[in-house]
Chains A and B, each alone.
Chain A
Amino acid sequence: MEKNRIIHGLSLCSFKILRIMKLTIFLMLISFIGVFASETYSQTTKLSLKVEKMSLEEFLIEIENQSEFRFFYAGKIDVNKKVSGEYKNEEITEILDDIKVKAGIKYEVMGRQIVLSPIDKDKVIKSLQQQKSISGRVKDVSGEPLPGVAVVINGTTKGTITDMDGNYTIPNVSGETVLVFSFVGMKKQKIVVGNQSNINIILEPDAIALDEVVAIGYGTVKKSDLTGAVTSVGSEEIAAFPTTNIVQALQGRSSGVVVKQNSGSPGDAISVRIRGTNSIQGGNEPLYVIDGFPSSSSKPTVLDNSNIESIEVLKDASSVAIYGSRGANGVVLITTKKGKAGKPTVSYDASVGFQSLRKKLDMMNATEYASFYNLQRVNDGLSPYFSDEEINTLGEGFDWQDFVFSTSPIQSHAITVCGGNDKTKFSIMGNMFNQDGIIEGSGYGRYSITANIDQKLSDKITVNYSSTLAKTKLDNKNWGGERFGASLISAALCAPPSLTAYNDDGSCRVLRTAYPFVSEGLTNPVNYINEISDVRKSNEILANINFIYKPIKDLTVKIHGGIENSDDRNDYYKTVKYVDSQGYASIGSYQSTSYLNENTINYEKSIGKHDFSVLGGFTYQNFKTTSIGGSGSGFLSDNTKTGNLSSASIPGIPSSGYTKSVILSGLGRLNYVYDNRYLVTVNMRADGSSKYSKGSKWGYFPSGAIAWKIKEENFMQDVEEISNLKLRASYGVTGSQAISAYATLNNLYSGKTVFGDALNTTFAPGSRLPGDLKWETTTQYDVGVDLGIMNNRYNFSIDYYHKRTDDLLNTVSLPLSSGFSSTIKNIGVIQNQGLELSFDGNLLQGDFSWDMDGNISFNKSKVKELYGGKDIYGGWQDMLVIADNLTLLREGEPMSVFYGYLKNGYDDEGFEAYKDLNTDGVIDENDKTIIGDPNADFVYALNSHMSFKCFELSLFFQGSQGNDIANIGAVGNNITYGYGTNQLEEVYTDHWTPENTNAKYPKITREQKMQFSDRQIEDGSYLRLRDIQFAYNLPLSVLNSSCFEKIKIYFSAQNYLTITKYSGWDPEVNSLGGSSSIAQGIDHYSYPTAKTLTFGINVTFK
């Protein structure tokens, strides 16, 4: 016994604990744990043992030794009673049945736990056996009541189904009864009744629910009936960690979607490319459709992550073609959280995070800096600037990176109230998001209120209303680019470590005159941080109203009206303390409004094996923007800021602008399903746009798709391993509104010139020659296979697509002597093709559950045709020593490859040398070649979610492979030595000298002559642990359970692990990114991406 105690300490411990545990708590625990209990253990475990007159206690320990069973007491049991018996390969129940009479016990098996209780002696046990009525409510994880859930007494056919509000009642059950809750698409749950009379259950979605309904344009469809390539991203993934913009949360969540942060600046733009870049002239951002409203914005800023119910990414032509002229870049459908019938639920989600610079660059310290520039001066025939004594006193010096970047908070709060009955459903959400940037003074904040109301007026008429009001504020400190310290971010690397930010008297140090060899552009970062404020405040509204009328059973008429409005105001003020400033203030105010009216009729009918639905409609949307701006310079005091422009000594010229464009459309769709096996979709949209020339205003965008559910065929019925197999193919045409309003009109632009010290207004044509233009069209085909195995526990999808954009709108350069620099023409062809694979699976089930999903996307772009076969240059960057176009479009090459010289070691003097590709003896334009490709070979993501009892661990990896980055900013910090900029430490240790001719960096001289070459091209591949999250779901036993339904606390870290060879701050960089930019992958002193530690809590109230 003594020995056993030691060896089996754990089981004895459970005895001990049990003795001091109240039965009620125990039963609560059981019901809680029961959720996770594995039913089969007791049936599959076979035991063999032989005992003779062994005490009950020793007998139980013996069983614990042989198995994972653990025994618990309920009531007083005489553990010294002797038992005997011989068992061979018998189930635990058989063994216990054999001894229970002798021992005077009853038992209950709950997974691996077995509860023993004395026969007939304990009142509690009696109560367990008492017949009683059980009632409760079933909800899904989002708190929505689930009607139609089967509640069955285990092992019987007795049971009931939950009503509209998810409520059920089962009479005549005993405490020993096990209730089984099941619902299509949800994980089955078993619960021991115990002494409860009210059991509320939350059913979790099954790994993959094929009956899930996904949004498509102008409707929804069962996931199993999809004919196109559509990815659905759920609310949990979107809200996994706080991001400024919901689009950032899409990164890595869907195959074929590349999300690039242009910089780490809070609120900065994001580039999204779905299946490659299609357009040179126009935007390449997808169309965002928020609750049915096709947004005019290239980034949906109005919403908060927690508002999102789901996001669907439509990728292939048949899914996007219903959006016709705006679908060429893919469509992102965003659905906000809707109310649900049932008792109102209130939830509160909050997180607080701390962001910091992900990595610091190793720069020279003050001693090295001084020695370095002495060396430069000696090499250039000048006398050293710093004396030895000075150098000896410098030491490490001042760390400008530490000065500019700091740890800063990010916080997010969301309150969601949902509820309703069968007539009215509502949801109200309040959100607060606040992010301070890692550069002091920068930040982004958003307060928003979202409401959705759905009211049934009669059996035939429903009205629903959704609106979001958001107030955002952007404090901009995103001044990058420039050269040699002439911008905030550039100065953080270029400023001499031998100088501090402030003079001894506390005033801001002027850096440009500190040493004779520093660049006149070098500006103390203090100027930007303290002396410029650039604030953009925005009020955004998105409101939709729908009248849904169902005159007869299968017919739905829907009239949708919507307004999207954004009122922005930008206040910029540069103080008189800013270097070379006498104060400058400007205010810009912008209003953009879009009205939408959509009218659709949908008819659905099933006749025998034929199911079809027909959609038809027409829509009108207009877009109007107005702007007004004023400015002034020369202020007596900084007190007025932007509050009193009229006090400026030099008033600026007021400005205003106006544009309006209209799209008028007709659309139609036919879905036809035969015998749930063959599916056909045909779409048609006609769009008329005011932006195009007369006679070319209308564009027609047809598409079609077929799908074959092979699994539904008879010959597949016996293949049990495969639970889903579907083949899809689609083809279609979409368009792009690549031009801005009035681009085809021959208009005059106003300007100013001076006569007699006064400004005079001038009128002249612009630099772009207008011309007749028509739509650019993208033709895409897609073939895909969906496979599900083991009852859809594992799912795979593969898609191949081919896109070709014709009539590409293209800026065609004109000879400058024409007085115009360019015109736009419909000339050019781009092709994108690619492969997308995605996988999800439930690797482990039971107590320890492990889900995993991942995707990988390959895209290859090719410029097929350009105007006159001529190259198009782009990505102009001016680093003074190198001023060139970095990118190029050339027929036969991928989109916007990097173009420059190939480095060829050093010449005899230690200057950088370049390859003479045409061997004509001179290095000139003709020796340029393609030196890099900013397009990734593939991007990928892997998401793992593990849970064990109350604990959850999520890992989200995301990466990009084979993309190059042109690190043009580095020119100022590793190869240009003539402007007094600080350099990478390795330049100091490894530069050309007559003894070290094979050095990494050239000779230290200000005389270098250099070109844009493959020295500036770096491998931008990375693998990033974008998020790791550890969460703990508080067991409700420790809470006042009448108040809380769920409490989850978590701790997560973003961007803490990044594997990359890229030498800059961060490989996720896109300095020239923008909605229409084709110059990707350029790093020119961008606001670096931060890493973040986040703590959060999710609470659902009862």
Chain B
Amino acid sequence: MKNILLYCILIIIILLPSCSDILEEKPQSLAVNTFYNTAGEVESAIGAIYTPLRSNFNSTYPSLLECSSDMFFTGRGSWVNPAEFQGFDSKNQTREQGMWGNFYSSIRNANLIIQNVPNSDVLSEEEKNMYIGEAQFLRALCYFHLIRNWGAVPLRTEENFDEFNVARTSVEDVYKFIISDLQSAETKLPDEPFAEGHPSKWVAKTVLSDVYFYTGDYDLATAKAGEVIDSNKYSLVEVQTSEDFGKIFGATVTNTTEEIFYLEYCVESSWGYLHYLLGTDQTYAGFSGYYVCFSNSDYIVYKNWDNDDLRKVYNWYEFSGGDPGTLCNKKFTDPGSFYPSNDYPFYRYTDLLLIYAEASCRNAGSPTTEGMEALNMVHRRAYGYPATQISPVDFKISEYSKESFIELCIKERGYETVAEAKRWFDLRRLGKEKAAEIIKATRGVDIADKAYLWPIPIMETEYNEAITDNNPGY
């Protein structure tokens, strides 16, 4: 019997595979600690900074910002709330929470690059600089959006991004950080991007000028914008008819001379923002839109808009499915297609020209010739004239004071960037008083004090123990 038992036990032991490594996991995937070495690895990790950013700009983020502009009349359904300027309801608080998360996701992925790339023993210094510069640029871009929407935010860098509890850093210090990141990026980034869709040093300079402009450093803003203009890297796309604007915003356009920095979308990974702008008819895309923010033909901004401005015709169309006079925006269309591949124009040359125009005026205390020319370039093109030649629609410098020129710039920016999710930031930049005045005049409502900043999301205040206060009103 003893033998039999032994025999059985022997069989069992033979049947069992050796135990030492059997419980070790061997996934068919890549591990964090061994990555970020080669150019291919780092470039794919840089791509991961764009992914959350792209999903933010894919639909609700631009819609939410655009609902709070004076260019659109109102929102529909749950989008009524952001259009009322009274602070966010719970639905829109949930929306902004996702956006907050996406920006910080991009920041995390940028931090991983900044943290790990210096340790690579494969990459050259030049390559390392280029990649780190891009990560710094994108990190700064994310913080620039965060700070304009939420005010003081936790500053997560490559040093502290894996800590759970990080307090809010003052607006001033976040801007300092943004500027230092962009300054670093403008030195590290190459003159020409290493591949399409990536930033060059000129892109970093453009964003830097925007940051200076936004924070009121008009001399630096003018200088930076001037640097980019003088580089002659960019020029405006010429148009003759309103349809010609399709050469800038159309789905088939991949690259134009006025493109500074775009977030790209393609048919396999399409741009959902169109759903939010278009009506449920299928004239301007193969699908039915939601028309979450729309205008109306008797809306004051629309009425005051010169009918000869090709942008007015290009942008708006009457949607018959809504209440009488409903206007939807068709700046971005992809007729017939179910998967719009239009790109989000983060920075176009017109942005830069208008920054230059206004900043130079504010800096000099009166309109400058160069500034007026920059403004006129944008204006001429809008009426179908060559951008760089004198045209009948030119504004004359002699007719404008500092104040009226700034007004003109603000108006021109509004027409030029409609539906690009930039107007609310412009209103905020002008200060509460001016923003309230514009919204009162166009929308007929007073902006509640709490509406100037979005609330820090619950998932942050609840789980970040270092955050004890929220924005006013929340």
Contacts and interface: CB of A to CB of B under 8 A. Distances in A.
Contact of A764 (B4, B101, B109, B464): B109
B287 interface: yes
Contact of B462 (A555, A633, A634, A870): A870
Contact of B90 (A579, A816, A1011): A1011
B156 A818 contact: yes
A552 B31 CA distance: 54
B390 interface: no
Interface in A605-635: 618, 620, 633-634
B35 A763 contact: yes
A183 to B, nearest CB: 36
Interface string A420-457: 00000000000000000000000000000000000000
A749 B89 CA distance: 34
A819 interface: yes
B468 interface: no
A744 B23 CA distance: 13
A552 B154 CA distance: 74
Contacts of B323: 382, 516
A553 to B, nearest CB: 11
Interface in A752-776: 752-765, 767, 769
B369 interface: no
B28 A650 contact: no
Contacts of A664: 16, 19, 22-23
Interface stretch (B261-269, B299-307, B374-382): B261-269
Contact of B464 (A557, A690, A817, A884): A817
B290 A819 contact: no
Interface in A661-700: 661-662, 664, 688-691, 697
Interface string B142-177: 000000000001101000011111100000000000
A767 B291 CA distance: 32
B460 A816 contact: yes
B48 A549 contact: no
B105 A748 contact: no
Interface stretch (A102-110, A651-659, A846-854): A651-659
Contact of B27 (A559, A697, A741): A741
Contacts of A660: 25-26
Given A618-B12, A633-B338, A688-B23, A816 B48 contact: no
Interface stretch (B192-200, B310-318, B350-358, B403-411): B192-200
A311 to B, nearest CB: 30
A978 interface: yes
Contact of A880 (B24, B25, B77): B77
> What is the interface residue range for chain B against chain A?
35 or more
A755 B78 contact: no
Given A664-B22, A767-B105, A761 B44 contact: yes
Contact of A658 (B11, B28, B30): B28
A748 B29 contact: yes
B257 to A, nearest CB: 16
Contacts of B31: 745-748
Given A690-B25, A741-B27, A815 B165 contact: yes
A226 to B, nearest CB: 29
B17 interface: yes
Interface string B438-474: 0000000000000000000111101110010000000
B25 A756 contact: no
Contacts of B29: 742, 747-749
B32 A818 contact: no
Contact of B338 (A582, A746, A765, A817): A582
Contacts of B111: 819
A817 B198 contact: no
Given A559-B12, A580-B287, A650 B267 contact: yes
Given A520-B288, A754-B197, A884-B90, A819 B156 contact: yes
Contact of B25 (A516, A559, A745, A749): A745
Interface string B73-98: 00001100000000001110010010
B33 A746 contact: yes
A571 to B, nearest CB: 21
B41 A763 contact: yes
B415 interface: no
A847 to B, nearest CB: 56
A929 B23 CA distance: 45
Nearest to A876: B94
B27 A658 contact: yes
Nearest to B77: A880
Contacts of A741: 25, 27
A844 interface: no
Interface string B1-15: 100110010011001
A753 B44 CA distance: 9
A820 interface: yes
B101 A821 contact: yes
A326 interface: no
B427 interface: no
A618 B22 CA distance: 15
B97 A753 contact: no
Contacts of B161: 818-819
A817 B104 contact: yes
B297 interface: no
B54 interface: yes
A754 B90 contact: no
A883 interface: yes
Given A764-B48, A870-B462, A755 B457 contact: no
B47 A761 contact: yes
B286 interface: yes
Interface in B244-297: 254-255, 264-269, 280-282, 286-291
A881 interface: yes
Contact of A758 (B108, B109, B198, B266): B266
Contacts of A760: 43-44, 47
Interface string A126-152: 000000000000000000000000000
A48 interface: no
A832 to B, nearest CB: 27
B268 A759 contact: yes
Most B C-beta atoms less than 10 A away, residue of A691, A762, A767:
A762
A662 B104 contact: no
A599 interface: yes
B5 to A, nearest CB: 8
Contacts of B101: 816, 821
A689 B22 CA distance: 9
Nearest to B324: A516
Contacts of B129: none
B268 A618 contact: no
A747 B30 contact: yes
A516 B164 contact: no
Most A C-beta atoms less than 10 A away, residue of B50, B105, B198, B290:
B105
B48 A763 contact: yes
A520 B156 contact: no
A1028 B305 CA distance: 74
A1009 interface: yes
Contacts of B281: 513
A581 B41 CA distance: 37
B23 A650 contact: no
B89 A816 contact: no
A1076 interface: no
Given A817-B154, A818-B108, A759 B266 contact: yes
Interface of A: 382, 512-513, 516, 520, 549, 551-552, 555, 557, 559, 579-582, 597, 599, 601, 618, 620, 633-634, 650-653, 658-662, 664, 688-691, 697, 741-742, 744-749, 751-765, 767, 769, 813-821, 870, 880-881, 883-884, 925, 978-979, 1009, 1011
25 contacts: A382-B323, A516-B323, A520-B289, A520-B290, A658-B27, A662-B22, A690-B22, A742-B25, A746-B32, A752-B269, A753-B48, A753-B269, A755-B50, A755-B197, A762-B50, A763-B41, A764-B45, A815-B154, A816-B97, A817-B100, A817-B153, A819-B107, A819-B109, A925-B90, A979-B77
